[in-house]
Amino acid sequence: MAEHVPDVHGDCDARFSAVRTAFEENFRERGELGAAVSVTVGGETVVDLWGGWADAGRTRAWERDTLVNVWSTSKGPTALCAHILADRGLLDLDAPVATYWPEFAAGGKEGVLVRHLLSHRAGLSGLREPHALAEFYDWELTTSRLAAMEPWWEPGTQSGYHAFTYGFLVGEVVRRVSGLLPGAFLEREVTGPLGVDFTIGLPEKEAGRAAELVQPPAASASEQAAIFSQLSPAAIAALANPVLGAAEANSPEWRAAEIPAANGHGTARAIAALYGVLAGQGSYGGQRVLSPGAAERVREGQGSCRDLVLGAGLGHETEIGLGLWLSGPGGSYGPNPRAYGHDGFGGSCGLADPEAGVSLGYVMNRMGPHIADDPRKMALIDALYGAL
């Protein structure tokens, strides 16, 4: 029997009623627990909806300002920090990383360029030595281990998704150039001035607004063994050193840490605004964050390939720009192959389509099992483009 569909709150322009219908269907047909979706067109918000429950026990309603950990959807705002510095002439994306971070030249990495970090081509998808979750909370330890290690593959030749290391690598370059960790830099330069409800990590005073993440049903031991048998050492290092899930992300320790690839917390409205900077060719809300040329550079494709970490699960070639994934022929971010965005572990998404002037933010707390293109996200994107 279909579950009761919770009340959906917020506003939706009549032209985009299909997005509201798809959002409601996510609860009725696709197991949604609590979620929100926001869409901007030409910088104007046309969809801003939320509904469901903020906890597994269904005791707290999802509110207008409910925050949730969006996992890798955080990578877009983190990449934005580097692009702001590059736009100001303070960071050269074609320079060796060691120009800014001298220790990084160890392990044969003297030729690794900043663009290789942004495009998951540095060969540092995960650490070679066991790295406990508590060690991820130690910025200096994690970045020093990354600086010392040898790459898993020849940097610059292929992408291999840097699931957690991405934020430390790009983030340390941001810190070396600006003197600020990405969370503080983003607040100073973007979220503060624009009034965007998004942080890297979660300030303790905001804990009462945070939704509880809910893990998808676990694969059986035999299914897990089959999955791991297909993975390379570089992929295992990226995805299972350490193993993380909803329980860890709900902890105060995770929320307090600086993990720019994976512990951004925000609303769908905030995600739509941050990706709206890119959809608006560098401007949002009447404020310029990037020059048009710098915004365009974010989606500069670095070469299509079968990703060395996610390739087995995706089953097709993909292309990453300088921080975000291109929609490509698969239409991950709508029918425009040059639209771009980022998915988060379990289902969340940020999308920018400059040609259509569209941005979308989708956040949820019941994590799905899909590596990318969660059916809930795709239903919302299909409805959006059907209405344009």
For this structure, is 125 an active site residue? Answer: no
Question: Checking phi first, is residue 107 left (phi over 0); if not, alpha (psi -120 to 50) or beta?
Answer: left
* Burial of 149 from C-beta contacts in 10 A (0-12 / 13-18 / 19+): buried
Give the chain's largest Cα–Cα span: 60
Q: How far is CA 329 from the centre of its chain?
A: 20
Q: Rounded to whole angstroms, how far apart are CA atoms 131 and 259? A: 14
Q: Rounded to whole angstroms, how far apart are CA atoms 280 and 43? A: 7
Residues sharing a CB contact under 8 Å with residue 27, sequence separation 6 or more, in sequence order: 3, 5, 6, 8, 35, 51, 52
Q: Rounded to whole angstroms, how far apart are CA atoms 256 and 368? A: 25
Tokens of 359: 């941005």
Q: Is the dihedral of CA 82, 87, 89, 93 positive or negative?
A: positive
Q: SS3 for 340-369, per residue? A: EEEECCCCCEEEEECCCCEEEEEEECECCC
Catalytic site residue from 72, 119, 178, 359: 72
Residues sharing a CB contact under 8 Å with residue 125, sequence separation 6 or more, in sequence order: 152, 160, 161, 162, 163, 165, 234, 235, 237, 238, 308, 309
Residues classed as catalytic: 72
